[in-house]
Amino acid sequence: MKNVKKLLVLACLGCLGFGTAKLLKTDAAQEKLFALLGEDTYLAILDKARLLGDLLMWPIDFVRALLP
Amino acid sequence: MNPKYEPLFTPFKIGEVEIPNRIVQCSMGGTTLFGWLEPSHFDLEGADFLLKRAKDGVGLVLPGMQVIRDTMGRKWLDSNRQMYRVLKPYMEEYHKTGGKLFIQLAGGFGRSMAVTPWMAALGRNDVLNKLASPIVDVQYACASASATPNRWADNLTSRPFTIEEIQEMVWHFGATAKKLRESGIDGVEIHAVHEGYNLDQFAIANMNFRTDQYGGSLENRLRFATEIVQEIHKQAGDDFPVSLRYSVRSCTKGWRKGAMPYEEFEEFGRDLAESEKAVKILQDAGYAFLNCDNGTYDAWYWAHPPQYMPDNCNLADVEHIRQFIDIPVACAGRMDPVKAAEEIAAGRLDAVAIARQNLVDENWVTKIKEGREDEIRPCIRCHNGCFNFSKAAGTENMQSLGDSLHLGRCALNPPTMQHNRYKIVPTKNPKKVAIIGGGVGGMECALVLKKRGHNPVIFEKEDQLGGLFLTASAMTFKENDKDLLRWYKDQIAKAGVEVRFNTEVNDLGTIKRGFDEIIVCTGSVPRSMPNIKGFDKTKSFRQLLREKSVEGDTIVFLGGGQSSCEAAYDLVLAGKHPIIVEYGNDLVAAQATCLANTSFLRDAMEYHKVPTYLHSTITEIGDGYCVIKTPDGTFRQECDAVINGIGFVPAPVGEKAPHVHRVGDCVAIGNLRTVVWRAWDVCMRI
């Protein structure tokens, strides 16, 4: 039962993270963040986030290539 | 369409495959269908870009080079079955455009592998390399015909491929071609006897010391390339067309030494006489098309010509070797479409291969067809976004990781190969935006804002647009830069952007009330070094290049960056005698500038015997002289002027505040890419 609960919590956190990422990628959210953080901070974070996203794709591509 | 372009729009055949016109998009690193440095996969960004090129009307598209075995992950290109499944419907969509697509396959980089510091460290250490080898085997990635020095890293030597490794690779070329054909790909191009890549290292006698069947005679040195085409025909069928990327001449004087376009020299690589025989052997082996240029990684400015190289720089050599074969031939390298059309009409050339123009203007073929060629945004051959592998003395490849992952982007056109990151989204809340400064940054901001539906107004202190770029584009060989400036001015006029000339804004408060947002694009000013006695006597690049108010023959440059070297080269071409004094250990030691550009400038300074003092500085400037301090001593140099080439500092107007933004060199000193991309980053979110 404990394991099921843990899995549920993890699934909820995953969905929340995915939803937040999707939301943050919308044009409206980006405009708001830009105004809120200021362009220098916003662009610095954006740059790092893009590089992180690119690097995360490596293991994903690697695993995808192994799929039948 | 202007009739002078008509010969470009006639079909031709490669083997049995008909190409709808004579325009070939050359492979450019990063514009790949199966990923660049990542493990091979179907790359959605590359696929989108390539499909758009076909829709624009490019007859034959060659996506970016695909190494037959992944550098990262080390999987063979034929092993990812899912990738080929996705490829099939893509090609069905692609063929609706009428265009054709060949995949360029390569046997790796060999000694040309642009290793970064961490890769060089792995490559030099057998134990570390072994440990990392399941992910990246640097020694394999750098392996070559023979033990030869790496182009990028000192003290890193390629190991020779074993015969088993060569034959394993040959088989995988065939297996990959078979899968590509089954997925609807029209043909393949082998990145073989070209530009000093791995297979070219087998072909060049001075890079191949083997004594087995892959070394020695010309036939043996070309054996790797000939076995590949034969294996492809065996596995994919005799009628599957195989093109060859081919460098007619290496234009190389030695390890890391290129030859100037007008230089007489002893060829270290492949010369024209050997090329005449080589093309015949390669044709007889089964290659159906030669896609040609010149150069090697040691003479990179031939294969990736910067603005300093002449237009059509490889054409004469390509047309020469065409006489020795019967298969069609394309020529690449700063090709002028009008000249190419003339040559095709005259029967001296079969197709024109064009690369970087496809990045900077996604509709350039359509614009030619519709007689709107004056609307084509020109490529300025800066390589800042598409190909910024950089190196100076004592460094490996200095390129940032982000750039290594994303070649094939464009300094002037941010949506290229990143169309989801940079896009025009119409605004729901149109604003009045003041742009302070009408340089490239200001004009790019105005164009992006206008496309989004905002109302920008440019305030320019001079009586013309261009800002600092008016000086940067003033040199005689910067015709592309001048074209770009003309293009910007035309676009600003066509977009109906209001420009208030002769209006200098020193206080943002004076315009704040009339505008919702302000973008400061006021650029930079020359850096000052008042600790140098007589520094106030230095002249600026503006005075030298734009105002032409600096007279005399002997001009000393304080600083050996790109601006100084370009200006010095301009003076050399005018018959003058520049001298360069650089504090660092090399000229143009900037991270973001491509080795193709910097190595030309370094080689040109050496060829023209421009006195260059490294690790040196100027300690005093007087009337008609300066005092130069070098590691070997201090001396007085008679000169007519000293140019301040020590760099620039940002010169923003006003303070940072809400609704006040900064773009370009007034944020940090960069290049056109940093200016243009930041303009988009800011203006997409206003």
Written out in words, the top-level CATH class of the domain with range B528-646 is alpha beta
Residue of A nearest to B38 (CA): A58
Q: How far is CA B499 from CA B253, B442, B443, B503, B524, in A?
A: 51, 11, 10, 9, 21
Does the ipTM exceed 0.95?
no
Residue of B nearest to A34 (CA): B685
DSSP secondary structure code for residue B102 in this structure: E
Residues 6+ apart with CB under 8 A from B262: none
Neighbours of B518 (CB within 10 A): 21
Coil vs helix vs strand at B274 = helix
Q: Tell which CATH architecture fits domain B432-525+655-683.
A: 3-Layer(aba) Sandwich (3.40)
DSSP secondary structure code for residue B537 in this structure: G
Residue type, B109: F
Indicate the fold that domain B3-405 takes in CATH: TIM Barrel (3.20.20)
Specify the pLDDT at position B74: 86
Whether the full predicted model's pTM is greater than 0.80, yes or no, is yes
Question: What one-character-per-residue DSSP string does A38-66 give?
Answer: -HHHHHHHHHHHHHHHHHHHHHHHHHHHH
Specify the pLDDT at position A2: 76
Coil vs helix vs strand at B466 = strand
Q: Would an 8 Å CB–CB cutoff place A67 in contact with chain B?
A: yes
Q: Can you tell me the distance from the alpha carbon of B644 to that of B42, in angstroms, rounded to the nearest whole number?
A: 50
The residues with which B637 forms a beta bridge, in sequence order, are: B626
Residues 6+ apart with CB under 8 A from B219: B281
| Cβ distance of A65 and B421 shorter than 8 Å | no
Q: Can you tell me the distance from the alpha carbon of B296 to that of B421, in angstroms, rounded to the nearest whole number?
A: 34
Nearest chain B Cα distance for residue A2, angstroms: 37
- Within 8 A of A58 by CB-CB distance, chain B residues are 38-39, 72
Residues 6+ apart with CB under 8 A from B11: B18, B19, B20, B21, B59
Does A68 have pLDDT greater than 70? no
Edge to edge, what strands does the sheet with B641-644 contain?
B612-613, B577-581, B554-558, B641-644
Coil vs helix vs strand at B556 = strand
| Cβ distance of B38 and A43 shorter than 8 Å | no
Q: Which residues of chain B have pLDDT under 50?
A: none
A vs B, Cβ pairs < 8 A, gives 53
Nearest chain B Cα distance for residue A13, angstroms: 26
- Within 8 A of B38 by CB-CB distance, chain A residues are 57-58, 61
Radius of gyration of the CA atoms of chain B, in A = 26
Active-site residue, selected from the candidate residues B197, B287, B297, B613: B197
Token readout for B118 is: 């961490």
Q: Can you tell me the distance from the alpha carbon of B548 to that of B668, in angstroms, rounded to the nearest whole number?
A: 27
Token readout for A64 is: 């995808």
Nearest chain A Cα distance for residue B657, angstroms: 9
- Within 8 A of B72 by CB-CB distance, chain A residues are 58
Specify the pLDDT at position A63: 76
Pinpoint the alpha helices (H) of B238-350. Answer: 272-285, 300-303, 315-322, 337-345
pLDDT single digits (tens) B608-646: 999 999 999 999 999 999 999 999 999 999 999 999 999
Closest CA to B331 of B106, B58, B59, B24: B24
Q: Can you tell me the distance from the alpha carbon of B576 to that of B26, in angstroms, rounded to the nearest whole number?
A: 38
pLDDT single digits (tens) B297-355: 999 999 999 999 999 999 999 999 999 999 999 999 999 999 999 999 999 999 999 99
Token readout for B61 is: 């598209």
Q: How far is CA B493 from CA B4, B154, B375, B596, in A?
A: 28, 51, 12, 35
Q: How far is CA B596 from CA B96, B142, B185, B593, in A?
A: 37, 20, 32, 8
Edge to edge, what strands does the sheet with B432-436 contain?
B498-500, B455-459, B432-436, B517-520, B660-662
Token readout for B115 is: 């290793």
Q: Can you tell me the distance from the alpha carbon of B25 to that of B15, in angstroms, rounded to the nearest whole number?
A: 18
Q: Would an 8 Å CB–CB cutoff place A45 in contact with chain B?
A: no
Annotation marks residue B197 as catalytic? yes
Residue extents of the structural domains in chain B? 3-405, 432-525+655-683, 528-646
| Cβ distance of A39 and B81 shorter than 8 Å | no
Residues 6+ apart with CB under 8 A from B389: B114, B397, B399, B594, B595
Specify the pLDDT at position B36: 85
pLDDT single digits (tens) A21-44: 777 777 788 888 888 888 889 888
Token readout for B452 is: 């989004």
CA atoms within 13 A on the CB side of B4: 8
The residues with which B618 forms a beta bridge, in sequence order, are: B628
Q: Would an 8 Å CB–CB cutoff place A34 in contact with chain B?
A: yes
| Cβ distance of B425 and A27 shorter than 8 Å | yes
Q: Can you tell me the distance from the alpha carbon of B450 to that of B320, in angstroms, rounded to the nearest whole number?
A: 49
Q: Would an 8 Å CB–CB cutoff place A7 in contact with chain B?
A: no
Pinpoint the alpha helices (H) of B248-374. Answer: 272-285, 300-303, 315-322, 337-345, 357-360, 364-369
The residues with which B498 forms a beta bridge, in sequence order, are: B457
Specify the pLDDT at position A21: 77
CB contact at 8 A, B435 and B519 = yes
User: Which value, to the nearest 10 degrees, does the dihedral of the CA atoms of residues B540, B545, B548, B554 take?
Assistant: 70
Nearest to A57 among B38, B81, B656 (CB): B38
Specify the pLDDT at position B324: 98
Q: Would an 8 Å CB–CB cutoff place A39 in contact with chain B?
A: yes
